[in-house]
Structure formats: C-alpha cells, structure tokens
Amino acid sequence: MALHKKVDVPDEPDVDINPIYVQEAGHEVPMHAMPREGMLPGTALQVVRDELILDGNPRLNLATFVTTWMEPQAEALIAGCLGKNMIDKDEYPQTAELESRCVNILADLWHAPTGSDATGCSTTGSSEACMLGGMALLWRWLERGGTGRPNLVMGANVQVCWEKFCRGEVLPLLAGRAAQGSTGAGPAPPDRARGRCPVR
C-alpha cells in the first residue's frame, strides 16, 4: 500500500470544473482541502471523472498480475456488496457461507487431503493474500521450534510484495534470487528452514 503525506501548498490553484456543470458563478474546488460549500453530486462526479481520464487504460496494462476485465454480472455482484461490512459475519451470514465455500473450492483445487483442516479467508487483493501466506509460513515454522532467521526462496518472476514482506518481517532473502525459470537459489544453511514461493 502506498503511503501519502500531507501536502501544504500556499495559494494552490483550484480544480478546474467544466462550466456546464457549475450552477453558481465562482464555484471553487480546492485540491487538498475540503471545500467551504457543498456541491451537486453530478458536479463531484464530473470533477473526479475528469481527473481519472488521465489514468492508463487497465485493459492495456500488461504488467498486472490479474485480469482487468470481468463479466458484467460479476461487476453487478460486486456493486451490490459495496455497502456490506464484510467482517461482520453475524450481520451477513450468507456472505460468510459463500466465502467458506470458496475456501473449500480452492482447497480442492490444490488437492488438500481429506481431513487436512485446510484454512483460508478472503482478502482485498493479491498482495494481502501473499502477506497472510507469508505470515502463515512464519508462524508454522515458529510452532515447530524454529529459531534464528528462516529463508524464503523465490524466483525472479514473483510479485514484488514478497520482497516487501521479507523486509517487513526481517526474513532474509536467500542470497541471489532464483533466476527466471529456475527452481532454486542455491543451498540454504542446514540450520535454517526454507519456505518456497512458487509461481504457476
């Protein structure tokens, strides 16, 4: 997640608004502060949309780890759940049930054996999922009596969040990251556990 700092710009310009959306002369929309007066919903929509057209087209983003298109039916389901506080399982029990089914579907996909108590949860993105997976590796290693600093082996093609995880959790990357397409990164010290991060 990117960190943003407060911006203090004296006499900064206001956001430009297309005149056809302005109901009152001299309507101002400051860039880094709340406006003194409210604005019409249509005006607020137009202001934000005009800025967002400067973004790239997600369909043309070949560097992303996920697909950038989905069926309109899936988008309709997402829009219908925007008002839900997903962490409140008591208020939204059927959503919790669907989440549990998704965990079972993925466990079956990864050939989890019967009775293995495969565990999972929903996340807001792949980076969060990676962080949770890394923490699961770390805590499993500690429960087995691990000491010192474990290793995490990964290829050159993994998501950048894995390196951030290693810095945040003080886990050393195995010296010399594995080259693209290789399966390892050299021998690990015998007293260190090794976690592996596959990309399939």
pTM greater than 0.85: no
CA distance 23 to 28: 11
Q: Does residue 133 share a domain with residue 73?
A: no
Range of the domain at 150: 126-197
Residue 182 domain-assigned (yes or no): yes
Residue 57: inside a domain: no
The residue written with tokens 């596959």 in the block is 198
Residue 94 lies in a domain: yes
The radius of gyration computed from the CA coordinates of the chain, to the nearest angstrom, equals: 24
Domain membership of residue 114 (yes or no) is: yes
Say if 84 falls within a structural domain. Answer: yes
Q: Is 150 in the same domain as 191?
A: yes
Split into its structural domains, the chain has a count of 2
Angstrom distance (rounded) from CA 166 to CA 195:
11
CA distance 8 to 33: 10
Total residues found in the chain within this entry: 200
Over residues 116-131, the pLDDT tens digits come to 778 888 887 778 888 8
| Position 181 in a domain | yes
Query: Which pairs with CB-CB distance under 8 Å and at least 24 residues apart come from 66-71?
Result: 66/126
Half-sphere exposure of 109 (CA within 13 A, CB side): 7
Statement: residue 190 has pLDDT above 50? no
Residues of the chain with pLDDT > 90, as a percent, come to 12
